[in-house]
């Protein structure tokens, strides 16, 4: 059966599930049974068809502690889409640790000027030591522009770990003794300076959440994406086939799946060569 037909059936059945008004998790839906009769068991997803999420009981849970001066920042990112679904299904637990509660004195001080002089402030060791001490059995990551670049490999690795701690740096930096004694890994979101590590932590949480079994309905969508095979993704199109004279490439409408795959592979290589030649040089696909 062609991927297009499977996709269409998945969408129809998904809609049927929604239309029954049953809750969108757990998948005790009657329509799943119908789909099973149609396709048989799918080994990728136990008793359910891959579009449907697994019951929470079968999930590996990743717990992420986030040490931040701004817990409120995460309200949006944790409450939306895939991350919210991961939390709801029990695949992901996020525990926000308010660093201010570990601050020093009446003013809950967190930062001080650098020894030796210079601009800006440095995050002090005492509050971070106090917040990190109970989390020493977790894998502790500090987000900082001077860290190793975060990549899909980083997220793949983190998604296998049971307990992670993400420390959101701020100001000019963090007292080096925190890094030397409490941090397992320093990671950067990219070669630019943000106001703090919160954006990086939110990006990492989302990147990890979508890798957890059952959180993204169709495992193929995480398997086939950009970077997995060292290439960027090809362009995609949907209806209408022609919008005010801008037509979809004919091959995609041809029904010839061999040709379509060939076209997609060519576009992936072409796009990667143009935008990210470093991936072709460094990656597994250096011979393409
Ligand atoms: N904090 C400030 N800039 C950052 C970056 N680029 N990556 C991670 N943490 C940061």
Q: Which helix (H) or strand (E) holds 262?
A: helix 257-275
| Averaged pLDDT for residues 199-206 | 98
**Which of 141, 143, 148, when mutated, tests ligand 1's pocket best, judged by the most ligand atoms within 8 Å of its CB?**
143
In the chain, which residues fall in CATH 3.40.1280.10?
Answer: 62-209
Distance CA 282, CA 30 (A): 48
Cβ of 217 less than 6 Å from ligand 1: no
In the chain, which residues fall in CATH 1.10.1270.20?
Answer: 226-282
Q: Interior CA angle at 236 toward 230 and 239, to 5°? A: 165
- pLDDT of 133-175, one tens digit each? 999 999 999 999 999 999 999 999 999 999 999 999 998 899 9
Q: Which burial class, exposed, middle or buried, applies to 280 when counting CB atoms under 10 A from its CB (0-12, 13-18, 19+)?
A: middle
State the pLDDT at residue 198: 98
Domain spanning 62-209, CATH class: alpha beta
Cα separations in angstroms, 138 against 62, 65, 182, 184, 235: 11, 9, 10, 9, 39
pLDDT band at 273 (very low <50, low <70, confident <90, very high): very high
- Which ligand 1 atom is at minimum distance from the Cα of 192? 6
Distance CA 182, CA 125 (A): 10
State the pLDDT at residue 284: 53
- pLDDT of 7-37, one tens digit each? 545 554 444 433 333 333 343 333 333 344 4
Out of 15-29, 212-226, 242-256, 271-285, least confident range = 15-29
State the pLDDT at residue 133: 98
Mean pLDDT, the chain, whole residue set:
84
Q: What whole-number percentage of the chain has pLDDT above 90?
A: 70
State the pLDDT at residue 287: 42
pLDDT value at 197 more than 60:
yes
- pLDDT of 48-82, one tens digit each? 344 445 455 555 899 999 999 999 999 999 999 99
- Cα of 73 to ligand 1 centre, how many Å? 15
**Which of 166, 168, 196, 202, when mutated, tests ligand 1's pocket best, judged by the most ligand atoms within 8 Å of its CB?**
196
State the pLDDT at residue 1: 55
State the pLDDT at residue 227: 78
pLDDT value at 219 more than 80:
no
Q: Which fold has domain 226-282?
A: 1.10.1270
State the pLDDT at residue 225: 75
Q: Give nearest CA residue, ligand 1 atom 5.
A: 145
């Amino acid at each position: 059966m062609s991927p297009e037909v499977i996709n269409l059936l998945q969408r129809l059945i998904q809609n049927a599930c929604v239309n029954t008004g049953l809750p969108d998790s757990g998948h005790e839906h009657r329509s799943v049974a119908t789909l099973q009769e149609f396709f048989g068991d799918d080994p990728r997803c136990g008793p359910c068809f891959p579009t449907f999420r697994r019951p929470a009981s079968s999930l590996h849970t990743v717990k992420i502690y986030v040490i931040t001066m701004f817990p409120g920042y995460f309200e949006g990112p944790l409450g939306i889409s895939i991350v919210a679904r991961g939390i709801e299904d029990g695949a992901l637990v996020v525990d926000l640790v308010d660093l201010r509660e570990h601050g020093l004195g009446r003013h809950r001080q967190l930062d001080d000027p650098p020894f030796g002089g210079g601009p800006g402030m440095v995050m002090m060791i005492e509050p971070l030591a106090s917040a990190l001490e109970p989390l020493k059995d977790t894998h502790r990551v500090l987000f900082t522009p001077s860290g190793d670049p975060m990549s899909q490999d980083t997220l793949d690795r983190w998604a296998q770990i049971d307990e992670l701690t993400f420390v959101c740096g701020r100001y000019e930096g963090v007292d080096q003794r925190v890094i030397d004694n409490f941090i397992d890994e320093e990671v950067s979101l990219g070669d630019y300076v943000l106001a703090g590590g919160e954006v990086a932590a939110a990006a990492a949480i989302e990147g990890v959440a979508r890798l957890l079994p059952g959180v993204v309905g169709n495992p193929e969508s995480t398997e086939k994406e950009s970077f997995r095979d060292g290439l960027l993704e090809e362009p995609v199109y949907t209806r209408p086939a022609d919008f005010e004279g801008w037509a979809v490439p004919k091959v995609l409408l041809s029904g010839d799946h061999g040709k379509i795959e060939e076209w997609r592979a060519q576009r992936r290589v072409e796009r990667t060569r143009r935008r990210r030649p470093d991936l072709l040089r460094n990656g597994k696909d250096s011979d393409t």
